[in-house]
Amino acid sequence: MKPFLSVYGHVSIDKIISVKDFPRLNTSINVLSKKTNMGGTASNISYVAATLGVPTMLCAFIGKDFPQEYRKRLKEAGVMTSGMIETEYGTSEALVVNDRNFDQKVLFYQGPQGWASKLEIDLSKYAKGSEYVHFSTGEPDYYISQMEKLKEIPYIAFDPAQEIHEIWDRERFNRALALSNIFFCNEHESVSAEKYTGGTLDEIKKHLVVRTDGPEGSRAFIDGKRVDIPAVKPDKVVDTTGAGDAFRAGFYAAKYRKYGTEEALVIAAATSSFVIEAYGAVENVPTWDMVMERAEDYLRRI
């Protein structure tokens, strides 16, 4: 089976810590809870999308220390892992600290995805034939070269996430943007996107531009037309780690089932609402039926 969706990004080990408040410099604070989970933008999106029935190829680099239990979990979810290549470098790792307001601070070890060009391994052969290819976190120059090799793909999504502030610059950002027709960001990342382009999000002329705003929902520009998408209410909020990744996976699951773009964004919001009900990005992944049941009332409002 060829993939409908291929996802580039980090596959990592996430260590998630909750505190009441972030400590002041040179002080300590008690940890309320801690947990270690499979994480990373690519594995999160791929895992949720595959669980929702999307034929999904994972295109990423890992280390020899990548836990076998995580590899097994990806395969059991239906993720195509032939594009997940083992290297001599240690697997990416994130230390995520959440405070009581669900604000985050993250310490991140890039691992092999951060210097992919040095590996001289071409992942594009695994993504060929996809309807959608999603580029998230990872080395800019490598991703630009991969985008150029995948020009025949109908939809290329550019989603640099929090790395937009640090490892992307104006020149590389605009090159990647020119090679894509979908752009994802959140309210914080949009600041850097607008700085790099010299304009506002609505001036980015793409098929789809999406800015997620957490509990405020999201705004999208579909072929230049603005659409506001409401946040779908969860039963509870425990941990927002991976909410954005689940949103993207839900979007692709809806597109796989031929939903229109505005409907797909509502379904994306419904998918995201489940993930934040538990610690970890892939610990409370819904079924497709669960997503549609929760999205039903919101879809009626379109």
**pTM for this model (two decimals):** 0.92
Residue 238 pLDDT: 85
Are the C-beta atoms of residues 21 and 30 closer than 8 Å to each other?
no
Cβ contacts of 297-300, under 8 Å, gap ≥ 24: 298/230, 298/232, 298/266, 298/269, 298/270, 299/263, 299/266, 299/267
Task: Tell me the pLDDT tens digit for each residue of 146-175.
Answer: 999 999 999 999 999 999 999 999 999 999
Give the distance, in angstroms, between the CA of residue 10 and the centroid of all CA atoms in the same chain.
Answer: 9
Residue with tokens 């610690």: 279
Parent domain of 97: 5-300
291: left (phi over 0), alpha (psi -120 to 50) or beta: alpha
pLDDT classification of 106: cutoffs 50, 70, 90: confident
CATH number at residue 15: 3.40.1190.20
Domain count, the chain: 1
Q: What is the DSSP letter of 71?
A: H
pLDDT classification of 282: cutoffs 50, 70, 90: confident
Q: What is the DSSP string of 252-266?
A: HHHHHTT--HHHHHH
Report whether pLDDT(279) > 80. no
Between the CA of residue 262 and those of 75, 109, 134, 229, 295, what are the distances in Å?
31, 36, 19, 8, 12
**Bridge partner residues of 185 (DSSP):** 211
The string over 197-215, giving b where at least 16 C-beta atoms fall within 10 Å of a residue's C-beta and e elsewhere, is beeebeebebbbbbbbebe
**Bridge partner residues of 38 (DSSP):** 13
Residue 268 pLDDT: 98
